Amino acid sequence: MATTDNFQVAGTPLPGMKQFGLTAGVLGVVLAVAGFFISGADRFYQAYLVAYTFWMGVVLGSLALLMVQHLSGGAWGVVLRRPFEAAVRTIPFMAVLFIPIVLGMHSLYEWSHEGITATDPVIAAKALYLNTPFFLARQAAYFVLWGTIGYLLTHWSAEHDRTGDPALLDKMARLSGGGLVVYFLTVSFAMVDWTMSVNPHWFSTIWGMLYIGGQGLSAFAFGICVLVMLAQTAPLSRVITTHHFHDLGKFLFAFLMLWAYLSFSQFLIIWSANIPEEIPHYLDRWDNSWKYLSIFIIVGHFIVPYALLLSRDLKKNAGKLRVIATWILLARVADYYWHVAPELHQDGLTISLLDVALPLALGGIFVSLFVSQLGGRSLLPVNDPGLEKALHHHVH
């Protein structure tokens, strides 16, 4: 790959990653088609919801972290800004990939069944919110808001690269302030719509925040994986050092702790209250074979990466940090599965071909789109006032 002096790659950055994404996407689609005929439509849509929510979480987490970086002005996010922006620019494509969830509403959401309000008083009481027309209207509003904020931030960022106009930095900061409020509200409602309403009889007031913390963790882990690969070749190999990865590893550790804190907070509140409408959420996940997945979430998603990220040497080692970040991403998929699947398969944990194929298929599609969006721009914001500070790893 030829490079220019402004950290821009002539051609497609990370061609190997794009090829991997294309291969994984094709393989995943083929396996998903086979799984559809083997396991049926209901199982297909459940697996699709898990896969979509995970990968959309990477996108939305990137949008949130991008806005936090613009608002704070800290140098910590400068080296990850381009990966975050590339992920954000996939929002229109991810909106199209939401269509199968709309088509599978009857399989996923009991409240969407015709006549259900006549026989279920709980769903009837929530019918003003949980009804198909309003659900679809909300989804359209979410994607319009996310897409508009993402477009403006990435467009102004490209203009700032070209002109260096400081007024654009102010515009991005102002938009990010209001945009974060919009993000917190829309993601909270979206996660109620997508995952919590799978069981319309259950509720949690911390549900939105739990997903927001998880999205930040997913986005940061994905960003680290990308930066490690970018740092292996010019132009970033000249400027990205072990100190950058050490700092990013500390941020990854912080997001892991945030996710764990929110997860435990929800458990503690529900378990101690012991309310019949709430406690089955955890009882069902400790029943029969679901308990093994619950144990994995505790050990594999928290204890193992927590222990590893305590090591200063591991955080400084780019290759090992990427392994930890990749492991966290895999654990995040399991966490989403743990949220959704027990509501639809209370008889026990059963992994189908679709549970592997659809995360692979959507992941391959997303990665291919991501790498395409990463190209054509400088890999670092060349006119950003925090760039020099970031490259000298004085991260605050």
Q: How many CB atoms lie within 10 A of CB 88?
A: 27
The DSSP code sequence of 199-228 is STT---TTHHHHHHHHHHHHHHHHHHHHHH
Give the domain range for residue 370: 16-391
- Contact assessment for residue 59 and residue 37, using Cβ atoms and an 8 Å cutoff: no
- Domain assignment present for residue 4? The answer is no
- Domain assignment present for residue 396? The answer is no
Query: In this predicted model, what pLDDT tens digit does every residue of 160-187 receive, in sequence order?
Result: 989 989 999 999 999 999 999 999 999 9
- Domain assignment present for residue 99? The answer is yes
- Domain assignment present for residue 369? The answer is yes
Among the listed residues 154, 139, 145, 74, the one whose alpha carbon sits nearest the alpha carbon of residue 100:
139
Buried b (16+ CB within 10 A) or exposed e, 364-382: bbbbbbbbbbbbebbbbbb
- Domain assignment present for residue 33? The answer is yes
* 171/384 Cα distance (integer angstroms): 14
* 204/273 Cα distance (integer angstroms): 12
Tens-level pLDDT at each residue, the chain (396 residues) = 333 446 665 456 788 999 999 999 999 999 999 999 999 999 999 999 999 999 999 999 999 999 999 998 777 788 899 999 999 999 999 999 999 999 999 999 999 999 999 999 999 999 999 999 999 999 999 999 999 999 999 999 999 989 989 999 999 999 999 999 999 999 999 999 999 999 999 999 999 999 999 999 999 999 999 999 998 887 787 888 888 899 999 999 999 999 999 999 999 999 998 888 899 999 999 988 999 999 999 999 999 999 999 999 999 999 999 999 999 999 999 999 999 999 988 788 989 999 999 999 999 999 999 999 998 788 888 888 777 777 775 444
SS3 380: coil
* 266/255 Cα distance (integer angstroms): 17
- Domain assignment present for residue 105? The answer is yes
> Residue 15: which residues within 8 A CB-CB, separation 6 or more?
1, 371
Number of domain units in the chain: 1
So what's the pLDDT on residue 8? Answer: 60
SS3 3: strand
* 333/319 Cα distance (integer angstroms): 22
| Separation in Å, CA 40 to CA 108, 154, 340, 362 | 13, 40, 17, 19
- Domain assignment present for residue 370? The answer is yes
Query: What is the share, in percent, of the chain residues with pLDDT greater than 70?
Result: 96
So what's the pLDDT on residue 9? Answer: 53
